[in-house]
Structure 1
Amino acid sequence: LFVFISSFLYFLSQLAPTVVYGDSAEFVIGAYKLTIVHSSGYPLYLLLGKLFTFIPIGDIGYRVNLMSAFFGALTSSFVFLIILDLVQSFFVSLISTFTLTFSFTFSFLSTIAEVYTLNSLFLAILIYILMQWKKKEEKKFLFLFSFFLGLSLTNHLTILLFFPSFLIYFLLEKSRISLKISDFEKTIAFFILGLLPYLYIPIVSFTSTETIFWQKIKSLRELLLFVSGSPFKVLLLNQSLLEFLNSILKFLVFLLFQFPGLATIFGVIGFLECRKNKKEESILFSVIFFFLFLFVINYKIGDIYHFYLPCYLIFSIWVGFGIMWLWKRTPEEKKFRILFALTILLMFIFYPLTYKIVDISVRSYKSFYFLDTSRMGLISTEKDSVIICDWSYATLFRYWQMIYKIRRDVIVVFDFDEKWIEYVDRLLGKRKIYFSRYEKGVGTKYYLIPESFLYKVEKSPPEFKEKMAKPEFLLNQVFFDSIVLIGYDILKEPEERGILSINLYWKALKKPEKICIVEIQMLDSKGKTFYSKEFRPIYGFYSTEKWREGEIMKEKINLYFPFKSSSSFRLKFKLSIEK
């Protein structure tokens, strides 16, 4: 109970205050609306997530994030019980469990809506049940294991990688208990019972009136391909030799970051101690670790480091064996006990250092950046327009549309296809088209005009040349002896976490020789930069090397303002040569 409460409070202190972009936003929508998410469907996660959406705290995103913290704390609790059962020391079990709890990937995934802490929980539960079956030699644990094994597959398919380890452990221990044919039949029945959440997918596919992106499943073949993760199979064994070696290096580096300093040393010692003292469990843990390692170094996906989590769970158990090895070799005298305590304390001193390398804090204004800009971008588009964007923004646009009913007339497309020029040719004139990033292919034929944080596709450029400049705020800031920023106007004071619209006035003192990039920084009252934006002047299409001596130009820029409108700030402008 102490492990659960302390872990949960730790995760709660860092919990993302709202929805996060990407898969996390998709899971929030899927849980709240009970609809289909990407393959393999994750039905159990969505059903459990729906229960958490009823908690009257925060917004929908926060409530589903809370579920990850809950399952993360439960995982820590079961890991503690596993280590306690193996080393028979409360103190050692507590310390080694916290090496997992405070590791930055586990902490991060316990603060956002993701399936990985639930996946880790299932692995911990399955290991614990197997160990109880070995110790108590009761068939009920075998049936319970079979049920949770089936249930775990309805959350994440990586559990399949652990089947060999479970089977080996069972074969090593089966002589301890006699099983009848009827027992095997019950085992299969409990496994199938655990798979029942998969019924969610065809039921929702036939009854749901709205989907996020994915088409409804219309046949048994489509269902099998969907739940088996077929769309992602192309990412497996699809790397060059250099990428393969880099994947190995990445895994090892991330492992060292999770267990810095003495924790890594304890883990290696613990691996050897486990082999010597707990041979069956050592085989179980080693095969789990090896098969997952083999998978992740051959799987080419952006968030692959999330898949490392079960390896970290196993390594934390080995850390427990390593600490126990040191504990047994520490003399009884008080001074040596103190030395041991200081050694353990020193191990945890390294953990804050990892947070500087990988920032797991999601409570700053950055938490709201993608969410707010997606809302502002959606609102700023014209009626019945199309937004073509990456996955991170696509899920947030759909979040606003499906949960808050904002601008449901806009069509959102996430860009897995790079042939957008053909799409634009066909659609432009019928609908307004926006991109979430500057698409060079489209930009060679059309004008991409920045609006909010989006780029609007136009056949002709906006008017930007001026005869005279009378800015509200005069600067006369000269760059490279050829370009002067005369000043700027503030067109609209920002609302709380809204848009700050400004006009910039440029003048070419003489013809610039190179393409320049402008950076606008927002500084708070203490002079600290809290937001910056880089772009080519004059909407990107009239680059500085085209400017003529004496020309005066005006452009409108929208900046994201993450604080209350009453907050004091100032703007700082920089110009650099494009590399």
Structure 2
Amino acid sequence: MKGMNRRELLTLALHSLAISGGVLLLYLATLAPTVLWGDDAEFQRLAFTGRVGAGVRSYPLWVAVAHSLSRWLPAEAAWSANLVSALCAALVVGVLFVLVSGLTHSRPAGWVAGLALAFSHTFWLHAVRAEVYTLFLLGYVLVLALLWGWRLRPAGGLLLAAFGLAGLTLLAHRLLLTAWPALGYWLVRVPKPRPGRAYALALAGLLLGGLPFLLLVLLPGRGAAGEIEGELGLVRLRDVGLGLGFWGYQFLFLLPLGVWGAWRQWRADRPGAVFLGLLWGGSVLFALSFRVNDQYVFYLPAYLVFAVWLGWGAADWLARLAGRARAVWLVGLLLLAAGAPPLVYRLTPAALNYLDLDLLPGRDVPYRDNNLFFLYPPKAGYDGARRYAAEVLASLPPDAALLADWTPLQPLLYLQVVEGVRPDVLLVQIHPGRGQQLPWLLAQSRTRPVFLADLERYYDLAEIETRFELLPYGLVYQALPYPPSTPCTAVGWWPGSKAATSTARS
């Protein structure tokens, strides 16, 4: 953007607003209308309460933004939380357009890059749900834009702002730590008139911006911002194969163009290529080595970097053409970026369901087709989690106690806390394998009817079934205690049954 006159800057801004506004309309049209499952439902509840806890609940920046919007909008808290993701995602695309247009001196390249990211599977999926990643990516792409601006015009204010924002973005997600090698390289590699002053400003910005994060980490009894439960391990061949599948599903027919763009940047701007390569490599290495069910989401920063390379590739290819041929190729690239993905995303889960294949690690829950839910980003009209929670809470007897795992527990808690549904029901999650589920059920069964949300691996069924008979009860399972004198193999015993009556008489 260096050397642009006022008219060119205005045109660039209008294009940025156009692409941001367009993708925002897309995300609003495909936005989840209500409460979802698991993490999404928890974030939707936190958007209402404004509380920040430890572990997965410790994303203070997202909670602050979502809670403020939830209080201001006359809408359901869950929808308001989903809207935060859509707004941030649209802003990410707008900033990316400006960044790529400035780097390549080509607005068409900015459109290709912006639309490719906007319609990529994982980015779109998290733009219509209550998740922290689009807010994190907004901080991420703004840091990149500020650092590239500092390279063009080495002003101290830009450097201070870039590293200050990098520190602040840690409150959105600690995934930014994967970018630190690249930030350090850029700080050292970019020519600067006064290196000592530049290093001091970068350190000052990082300390000032990261101070809230440091305080949150050091506070007794509080979890680190963005803490994730999982484990690091060596890269496995299986993870590499899955990763290649994820990349193919994101960018489909544009992958060769992105690889070409990375090569062309390496030839034209080696320091910039190394900077982006370090960003890309940090994200990919972490995604490959961190073991969690939603491992795929940690590729998001790398997808953003790849979108920049797509812009480089598009600019290089279009520069070789002129007239009608250039226009035809531009239309073709835009269709590949924005037209092909929705069709592929809709056909893929349909084909997998037809073949009775389930390629995803997600657990089964009522009213959710896993292939469709995870592989098809649009969530307009989806109310499976609300339907499940409403039916379960309506079916339980007074003062029931329900032991539930994370995924179904969170929509139940949302309805109970946010909407005041069935406050008499006790909802609890106890992790399996710790010997705590059975004692809790025994204690609660003395005064309450007790239930399990499911019979999945999240429950110590071998232990529980020594003292309880588990019978279907609508969408959940009732745990009926055996009488003290009854062997664990007995069946058909519950309070008021014939077996219970005969036991009492004897």
TM-score bracket, normalised by the shorter chain, equals 0.7 to 0.9
* One-letter identity of the residue aligned with 1:23: D
Q: Does the 8 Å CA contact 2:32/2:379 hold for their aligned counterparts?
A: yes
Match of 1:161 in 2: 178
Distance in 1 of aligned mates of 2:76 and 2:481: 41
For residue 445 of structure 1, report the CA deviation from its aligned partner: 4.3
Cα 1:342–1:401 shift into 2, 3 Å: closer
Are 1:19 and 2:35 matched, yes or no? Answer: yes
Report deviation, 1:323.
1.2
Shift of 1:377: 1.4
The equivalent of 2:294 in structure 1 is 303
Across the aligned residues of Structure 1 and Structure 2, the Cα RMSD in angstroms comes to 2.4
Where do 1:486-505 residues align within 5 Å? none
CA-to-aligned-CA distance 1:75-123 (integer Å, 9 cap, x gap): 0011111100111111121122101011121111000110000111111
1:352-501 correspondence to structure 2 within 5 Å: 352-357=343-348, 358-364=375-381, 367-418=382-433, 419=435, 420-438=437-455, 440-441=461-462, 442-443=464-465, 445-459=467-481
The 2-side partners of 1:168 and 1:185 are apart by 15
- Residue aligned with 2:261, SS: helix
Cα offsets for 1:384-431 (capped at 9, x unmatched)? 332111211211122122212222232222242244334334442232
| Structure 1 position 268 matched with structure 2 position 268 | no
**1:198-213, aligned counterparts within 5 Å?**
198=213
Match among 237, 240, 253 for residue 245 of structure 1: 237
Deviation at 1:37, TM superposition (A): 4.0
> Do the aligned residues in 2 keep the contact of 1:116 with 1:307 (CA within 8 Å)?
no
How far apart, in 2, do the equivalents of 1:395 and 1:333 lie? Answer: 56
Query: 301, 305, 309: which is aligned to 1:314?
Result: 305
Equivalent position amino acid for 1:386 in 2: A
Equivalent residues of 1:43, 1:200 under 8 A apart: no
The answer as to 2:244 corresponding to 1:227 is: no
Measured in 1, the distance between the counterparts of 2:323 and 2:77 equals: 55
Count of residue pairs the alignment pairs up: 433
**Alpha-carbon distance change, 54 to 423 in structure 1, aligned in 2, over 3 angstroms:** closer
The alignment's TM-score, normalised by the length of structure 2, stands at 0.80
Cα distance in 2 between the residues matched to 1:423 and 1:449: 18
Identity of aligned residues (%): 23
In the superposition, the TM-score normalised over structure 1's length comes to: 0.70
Could you tell me which residue of structure 1 aligns to residue 329 of structure 2? 340
Structure 1 distance, partners of 2:204, 2:130, is 32
Amino acid at match of 1:56: L
Aligned pairs for 1:180-195 within 5 A: 180=196, 184-195=199-210
Does the 8 Å CA contact 1:8/1:70 hold for their aligned counterparts? yes
| Separation (CA, whole Å) in 2 of partners of 1:162 and 1:228 | 17
Q: Structure 2: how far apart are the matches of 1:342 and 1:402?
A: 49
User: Could you tell me how far apart the structure 2 residues matched to 1:194 and 1:176 are?
Assistant: 23
| Higher helix proportion | 2
Q: Contact 1:26–1:37 (CA<8 Å) still a contact in 2?
A: no
SS at match of 2:291: coil
* Structure 2 segments unaligned to the other structure (5+ residues): 1-16, 349-374, 484-490, 493-506
In structure 2, distance between residues paired with 1:402 and 1:346? 44
Matching residue's letter, 1:111: V
Bigger relative contact order (CA 8 A; separation at least 6): 2
Is 2:401–2:426's contact at 8 Å kept on the other side of the alignment? yes
After alignment, is 251-260 or 390-399 more displaced? 390-399
Question: Is the 8 Å Cα contact of residues 118 and 124 (structure 2) preserved in structure 1?
Answer: yes
The residue type paired with residue 222 of structure 1 is: G
CA–CA distance in structure 1, aligned partners of residues 212 and 391 of structure 2: 37
Structure 2 match to 1:88: 105
Partner of 2:10: none
Among candidates 194, 197, 208, match of residue 178 of structure 1: 194
Q: Does 1:127 align with 2:149?
A: no
Task: Tell me the secondary structure at the aligned position of residue 194 of structure 2.
Answer: coil
Identify which range, 350-359 or 157-166, moves more after superposition: 350-359
| Structure 2 match to 1:138 | 155
Q: Structure 1 pair 431/231, CA: closer, same or farther in 2 (3 Å)?
A: farther
Aligned AA (1:394): L
Confirm or deny: 8 A CA contact 2:52 2:63 kept in the other structure: no
Structure 1 residues 245 and 38 mapped into 2: Cα distance closer, same or farther (>3 Å)?
A: farther
Structure 2 CA distance for aligned equivalents of residues 333 and 65 of structure 1: 43
Task: Tell me, yes or no, if structure 1 residue 292 matches structure 2 residue 286.
Answer: no
The answer on whether the counterparts of 1:100 and 1:316 sit within 8 Å (CA) in structure 2 is: yes
List runs of 5+ in structure 1 lacking aligned partners.
203-218, 462-540, 543-579
SS at match of 1:259: helix
Q: Distance in 1 between matches of 2:327 and 2:103?
A: 24
Q: How does 1:539-554 map to 2 (within 5 A)?
A: none
Cα displacement (A) at 1:221: 4.6
Distance 2:203 2:393 in 1: 50
CA contact (8 A) 2:62 2:172 kept: yes
Deviations 1:413-452, CA, capped at 9 Å, x for gaps: 2242244334334442232211111264334542222223
Question: Match for 2:232: what amino acid?
Answer: L
> How far apart, CA to CA, are the structure 2 residues paired with 1:404 and 1:196?
36
Q: SS at 1:449's partner residue? A: strand
In the alignment, which residue of structure 2 is the partner of 1:547? none
> Compared with structure 1, are the counterparts of its residues 143 and 26 closer, same or farther at alpha carbon in structure 2 (3 Å cutoff)?
same
CA apart distance, 1:292: 1.1
1: CA distance, partners of 2:424 / 2:207 = 42
Shift of 1:60: 0.7
Match of 2:318 in 1: 327
Looking at structure 2, the residues matched to 140 and 103 of structure 1 have their Cα atoms a distance apart, in angstroms, of: 34
1:107/1:360 contact within 8 Å kept: yes
Letter in structure 2 aligned against 1:117: T
Distance 2:53 2:248 in 1: 33
1:258 alignment partner in structure 2:
250
**Is 1:21–1:395's contact at 8 Å kept on the other side of the alignment?**
yes
Q: Secondary structure at the match of 2:403?
A: strand
Structure ID, larger Rg: 1
The separation in 2 between residues aligned to 1:395 and 1:152, in whole angstroms, is 26
SS at match of 1:127: helix
Deviation for aligned residue 1:326: 1.3
Question: Quick check: 1:44–1:197 contact (8 Å CA) kept in 2?
Answer: no
Q: Report the Cα distance in structure 2 between the residues aligned to 1:98 and 1:162, rounded to whole angstroms.
A: 24
- The 3 A distance-change label for structure 1 pair 121 and 161 is same
Cα distance between partner residues in 2 of 1:199 and 1:34 = 20
Question: Equivalent residue for 2:44?
Answer: 28
- Measure, in 2, the Cα distance between the counterparts of 1:338 and 1:362: 34
* Structure with more of its chain in strand, by fraction: 1
SS of equivalent residue, structure 1 residue 69 = helix
